[in-house]
Each structure stands twice: as structure tokens, then as C-alpha cells.
């Protein structure tokens, strides 16, 4: 965050400040538009504009949602990192369809993304893993994410074990931890307007690129 963004975040308690409503250009692409909206959310002073809801389904069709942090995005998709043994990862293995939701309340904006997933390369996962602080790296080894704790002390004991094990030198990247890339085929940009006549601009991916259209609010 820039100094101005940090000040806005501080003085608004992370709620951000409203920015002027912008019109969506007719020739906009979903990647360019998301980049613009994400930058404006960051500039507003919202705390953690990268927070997004990830919704998955298990093999029976039961959906579940949770908040994670977007770590990177480009024209290929949206990336977050997690334990590959977690519930969300297991559901992504069973059913590769996924939905994301960004909600920036002060800007009256949300972005809905639907697509499929793939794992990022082991090297990309390792590079990001080693960019994290050492405590988070050791925590990734200690946590059996989404598994039931055997006792209240189990996590503390595992943390102490791996702190001692990796007391010196580089913490190795565990092969059970890495990134997922959401490859979108549908993206909706929602801009709140007066009288609830909101703008809903949708993009559908085709073999030749992206088609866009508007929906009734």
C-alpha cells in the first residue's frame, strides 16, 4: 500500500472512502477492468481489498465458502495458496468448478467469477512460500489444515516440533502446500447505482476471446 492508501485505511478504520463512480468503457476486457477496479479498491483505503470468498462443491454437490486472500492475477486467472490437504483443496480435486466473490462495499462494487481450477507449478508455489515470513512457513508445516485436533495442545506441540526441526537454514517448501489458479469462463462486474438500477456487466469466455453484455439489475 502507498502512504496515502495507508492513511486512508488508518483514518477510516479499514472501511475505505467512496470514489467517483466510473463508467465501464464499451471495449473493456475483463482482465483490464478487474485490474482497474482492484487498484481503485486499494486506493480507497479498504483493508485487505484482496480478500475474496472461494466457493467449492464436494462430489455430492454440497457447496461451501470461505474467505482467502488473492495473491496474484493475470489474463490466465486468479491465484491463492493453501494446504492441498484442506477441505477446499479436496473439494477442488473432486469437483474442479469454483466461484469467487470480491465485495468492496464502500465503492458499491462486487465482482463474481466462475471457472475451473488447476494447480500452479511447484516452482511457483515454492517461490511464493519462501517469500512469506518464517513463522508462516513453519506454520504451514505444523497445520494439518481442516483435520480434527486430537487435543488442545496438538497444534502447539507440532509448532514447537517444526520450530526446532527448522531452527537453522531455509525452511523447505512442503509438497502438500501450494497454489490454485482459477481459470475464469464467466465474470460479472456489479456497480451499484441510485434507485437500485445497478450496472451488471458480464463477460463470457469463448474460443475467440470474451463476449460482453449487460443484465437487468
Q: Is the pLDDT of residue 74 over 70?
A: yes
CA distance 58 to 135: 31
Other CB atoms closer than 10 Å to residue 80's CB: what's the count?
20
Decide if 112 is catalytic: no
Q: Residues 75-122: pLDDT tens digits? A: 999 999 999 999 999 999 999 999 999 999 988 999 999 999 999 999
Counting residues of the chain whose pLDDT is more than 90, the rounded percentage is 76
DSSP letters, 156-216, are HHHHHHHHHHTSSSPPPPPTTEEEEEEEEEEEEEEE--GGG--EEEEEEEETTEEEEEE--
Give the DSSP letter of residue 47: S
Q: Is the pLDDT of residue 178 over 90?
A: yes
CA distance 56 to 35: 24
Q: Active-site residue among 66, 193, 196, 200?
A: 196
pTM across the whole model:
0.89
Helix-strand-coil split of the chain, %, nearest 5? 30, 35, 35
Reduced 3-state DSSP string for 89-107: HHHHHHCCEEEEEEEEHHH
Q: Residues 119-144: pLDDT tens digits? A: 999 999 999 999 999 999 999 999 99
CA distance 98 to 100: 7
Name which residue leads in pLDDT, 8 or 153: 153
Amino acid at each position: 500500500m502507498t502512504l496515502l492508501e495507508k492513511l486512508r485505511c488508518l483514518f477510516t478504520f479499514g472501511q475505505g472512502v467512496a470514489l467517483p463512480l466510473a463508467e465501464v468503457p464499451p471495449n473493456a476486457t475483463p482482465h483490464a477492468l478487474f485490474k482497474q477496479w482492484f487498484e481503485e479498491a486499494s486506493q480507497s483505503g479498504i483493508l485487505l481489498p484482496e480478500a475474496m470468498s472461494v466457493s467449492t462443491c464436494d462430489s455430492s454437490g454440497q457447496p461451501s465458502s470461505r474467505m482467502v486472500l488473492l495473491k496474484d492475477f493475470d489474463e490466465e486467472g486468479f491465484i491463492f495458496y493453501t494446504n492441498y490437504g484442506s477441505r477446499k483443496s479436496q473439494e477442488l480435486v473432486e469437483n474442479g468448478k469454483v466461484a469467487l466473490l470480491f465485495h468492496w462495499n464502500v465503492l458499491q462494487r462486487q465482482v463474481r467469477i466462475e471457472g475451473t481450477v488447476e494447480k500452479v507449478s511447484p516452482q511457483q508455489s515454492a517461490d511464493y512460500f519462501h517469500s512469506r515470513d518464517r513463522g508462516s512457513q513453519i506454520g504451514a508445516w505444523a497445520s494439518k489444515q481442516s483435520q480434527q485436533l486430537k487435543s488442545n495442545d496438538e497444534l502447539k506441540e507440532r509448532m514447537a516440533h517444526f520450530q526446532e526441526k527448522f531452527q537453522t537454514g531455509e525452511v523447505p517448501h512442503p509438497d502438500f502446500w501450494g497454489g490454485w489458479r482459477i481459470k475464469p469462463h464467466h465474470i460479472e462486474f456489479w456497480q451499484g447505482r441510485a434507485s437500485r438500477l445497478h450496472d451488471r456487466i458480464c463477460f463470457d469466455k469463448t474460443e475467440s476471446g470474451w463476449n460482453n453484455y449487460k443484465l437487468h439489475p
